[in-house]
Amino acid sequence: MLALELDVLLSAIATQHRMENRAEADATAHALLTTQVPQALTSRLPCPLDDEIRAVLATSDHPLARALLAAQGRMPWGTNPVKGTPGVSSTIFSVATLMGPEGPVPSPDFRMGFFFQRPDTYYPLHNHDADETYVILAGSAIWTAGSDTRERGPGDIIHHPSLMPHAFRTGPEGIVAMWRWSGDINTRSYAFLLDPQISVA
């Protein structure tokens, strides 16, 4: 059953990417559907935040949220793929990386996966060389992208050009989002910035 659920999830991810009308999104969708998915995406023990991730996904009727919830047992939830995030506690978030140079779906040009952040928490201002796109699947957050700060919820698409400062404060449900890096996808440039909100986080 999980193999079918994974196929449905990958198809839903590709459909969502194609809705963006960005060349990098179309290329990611193509890579997802034409690259053999490794056996690494098999059933696994739940991550420590599994119950919370499932709970927020269950509040959403976004098609990709439903597909992710059905395939949750295969998702490689863990820590940020960036080596060390000293500006934020690893207990408030989890990242499932599906595509990238290190896999599990190999790609030299893109990184892509899912992001969960716990309710009523703050991920501080940061930036990186990669262009980044988020799609909110479930929950909500007050989202800062450059000079724009507003509440974001399911279906919202947020694009961060290279080096744009961004941060997010979650609401009472937390948040699950899909993310993608393109362009210069090195992780060494990931940096936390001076953040006027950090004193109230």
Domains of the chain from N-terminus onward? 2-200 (2.60.120.10)
DSSP state of 47: P
User: What type of residue is 65?
Assistant: A
Q: What is the pLDDT of residues 102-155, one digit of tens each?
A: 888 999 999 999 999 999 999 999 999 999 999 999 999 999 999 999 999 999
pLDDT at 24: 97
Strand partners, 30: none
Q: What is the pLDDT of residues 168-191, one digit of tens each?
A: 999 999 999 999 999 999 999 999
Residue 198 scores a pLDDT above 80: no
Average pLDDT over residues 17-29: 96
Q: What is the pLDDT of residues 64-106, one digit of tens each?
A: 999 999 999 999 998 776 765 655 777 899 999 999 998 889 9
Residue 17 scores a pLDDT above 90: yes
What is the rounded distance in angstroms from the CA atom of residue 138 to the CA atom of residue 158? Answer: 14
**Cβ contact 40:102 at 8 Å:** no
Q: How far is residue 113 from each of residues 32, 76, 120, 132, measured CA to CA in Å? A: 11, 9, 22, 11
Mean pLDDT in the chain?
Answer: 92
Residue 201 scores a pLDDT above 60: no
H-only helix segments in the chain:
2-18, 23-34, 50-57, 63-70
Chain position carrying tokens 């193509």: 30
Average pLDDT over residues 27-50: 85
163: left (phi over 0), alpha (psi -120 to 50) or beta: left
Residue 1 scores a pLDDT above 50: no
Q: How many CB atoms lie within 10 A of CB 40?
A: 11
What is the rounded distance in angstroms from the CA atom of residue 67 to the CA atom of residue 73? Answer: 12
Strand partners, 9: none
Q: How far separated are the first and last CA of the chain, in Å rounded?
A: 42
What is the rounded distance in angstroms from the CA atom of residue 123 to the CA atom of residue 100? Answer: 23
